[in-house]
Structure 1
Amino acid sequence: MTLAIFLVIAVILAGIQTAVPFIVKRTVIFGVTVPEKHIKDEKLSSYKKKYALLVSLLSIIALASYVSWVLGSSPSEGQTVLIGTIIQFAIILFSFTLYFYFHGKTLQVKKEMKWGENTTQVQIADLSARAKDEMLPWYIFLLPMVITVGLIGYTIAQYNLLPNQIPTHWGINGEADAFTDKTPVSAISSLLMLLVMQAMFLTIIISTKKSGIKLSATATNASRARQLTLRKYTSWLMFLTTILLTGMFSFFQLRTIHPDIVDGTIVKAVPLIFLFVTLGATIAFAIKVGRSDKISIGETNTGIRDYDDDVHWVGGLFYVNRQDPSIFVEKRFGVGWTINFGNPIGYFIILIPLALIILFSIL
């Protein structure tokens, strides 16, 4: 079972990493802004194909070796988990290494070909796009927080029923494998961490909704479609993730208070349901957003080009722009959002919750 789970995760991870150059915004290739009329350049297309081939080839070799090792040597579950985790990180590391290599190659091509030097850079604003924004309202994210607060109250009321050793970690089989002494804080520490995560998701949604809708001057319709799709399904994915996390944490907390509340089959199923639903939703999100700007009807790009903000992207990964009030912007490698490191509010949104989660885990 452990082999199958890690194999499924690794295959999905490898698939997403392989497809990244083909699902990002079409005018951004390996983190570099490319004028609309050059996005199908033969060299750039070959870079994408080489990246996809190398990542997929390494993934196949690594996963085949992993399966052969597990089936041939019958390692312990801990060893299977450890090596499976190492392989997943190796795939990510290799894909990022290739990304930086082709990022440099793409920058070199852009510089040598002098793309866009004889055109005017244009930034546009479309106030009507806000009216079409279908992100979920922020107050929807209060529902799981109310559930968590209610469960904290229930735990305090049932404090005497709690065991002397409070679970702090659960394995992939749903059983607790790490414990700490019972105290008023340890009894609700996992729920406090959950509440912090819920608050972080809520803050991210509010900040994302307030972030600017960046449109292309040369492919306005396509970029509008992508931005609205990205925003809409980001809110849905985050809400689903929050609900799943709330359900899983609540299940484990109730089982700590009432050990016989369910049988072993359900205990094993809960983490797997969370894992596979989350992975499935992430894949659907990436596909939906990746396909949203592939069709551009009636677009023109003669004599103008989009504002080239490569100067604000460090390595095409980290966005630093103090003049941009947006806290989150669309990623250039991968699908989703990244922080504007030039806006200090972003640090508070991410770092403070992480610090609180670490503090609660220590206590």
Structure 2
Amino acid sequence: MAILVLFWSQSKPKKGLWFGVTLPEEALGDERLAALRKEFRKAYVWYGLGMLVSLVPLLALSDYFSLAYIYFFIWLAGVLYTSTVPFKRIHHKATVLKRDNGWFARGKRYVSVEKEIAFMSGLKPWSPYWFIVPALMCVPLLIFSLQHGHPLLRLTGAAALLMTGVTLLISLSFTHGKPRAYSRNAAPNLAIQQAARRYWSMFWLTLAIFEVMNATIAYNVLSEGTMIGLGMWLGGIAMVSLVPLFGIFYVHHLIKDLEYRYGDTDGKGYESDDDQHWRHGLYYHNPEDSSVWVMKRIGGGMTFNLATRAGKVMHYIVYAIIAVIVIPLTVILVRADSVPPELLVDDEGVVTIENSEYPYSFEVADIRELSLEDTVPTGFRTNGMATSTYARGNFKLTELDESAKLYVFKKSPPFIVMKLDELYIVYNDEDPEKTRALYEELAGRTGLAGK
């Protein structure tokens, strides 16, 4: 909602700034800008509706917290990335109007793009012979998979090799197909075409290598007979499916950025004012300014000058910090959904709770009270994980006024409640019969009997 409010506020001119473009007072009443405002608002209404509809799958993932978390994070990243698309499109149209009509609020200058256009015109797509790399990566997988007894796993290597061939054909269609018109002018059109061919060739080769690596990992896991939980399985499918989609989206908008910046030029330069330092009206890039921080044009606060080394470093540090936080948390959540805690009692009477971020062990002799309950004692989390389906970690139980460690599936009663000297342990298996069997074992060893 905050994103929609932020961009919706740009549908009205403010201090000579409209759609991220500086305009003189006499231009603000132009009917063409009014038409852009109508188009802008309509685009964000549809964007808001699409954003809400894309949240619906979260309802189906309510029982799988790790998947819901992964989906929400992907959704949030997608929203943050795509929210600027309508703004960029209208910003570009407003910029073209400004140039065509000479609406320069401040002193204008000539911006040369001839060297950049010449550089892009010289770009070549990566050679299709580079696809030998993923093809060679398929060879060991092909050899090992053909020796496997399972008919589906036997096809893994051939499928990976076939996928490499398909990716090669798609790459050739993108890099050697009919040229696309990005501009009415020949020089920028050729430059954007060549850059697009280079970017797509890099993407499809990278994707081919990615798919072979995925196939190899999947084969090694499945051939060893490793049991994969639903969370891990669906997470893997999401990874294999979403990475190519995000890659395609990224390359497409990388090319679109070139089209916006150079498509309406003659290949040599264009007239501009301070707007040239604000790419799409959002990102500040001014090599002549040594400032690392500048005031934002859109929204409040500060932003980086991406033309400075410090600005670039700090910009990427933000993404690195997010990755350092999100990736380990994702691994923990997927593990929690896929590998439930397990309570084991050894021959010496030591009780150990394994496969948990909150492992614990104690002696059978330490159990003072033992009971089998149909409900989980109520309380609040102090240091643990709690979802709609499970609770694990450290809790404070309201009913018992005691600290406790919970390792429970909330929707799978009964629950084994063990009271130690100053701590309660509450545990159950997702299978009620296993819980009852474990309770009988503990009752037999302790001589305690609850209900």
**TM-score past 0.5 threshold:** no
Normalization by structure 1: what TM-score?
0.41
Structure holding more strand per residue: 2
Bigger Rg, which one: 2
TM-score, normalisation: structure 2: 0.34
Q: Which has the higher helix share?
A: 1
Q: Which has the higher contact order (CA 8 A, sep 6+)?
A: 1
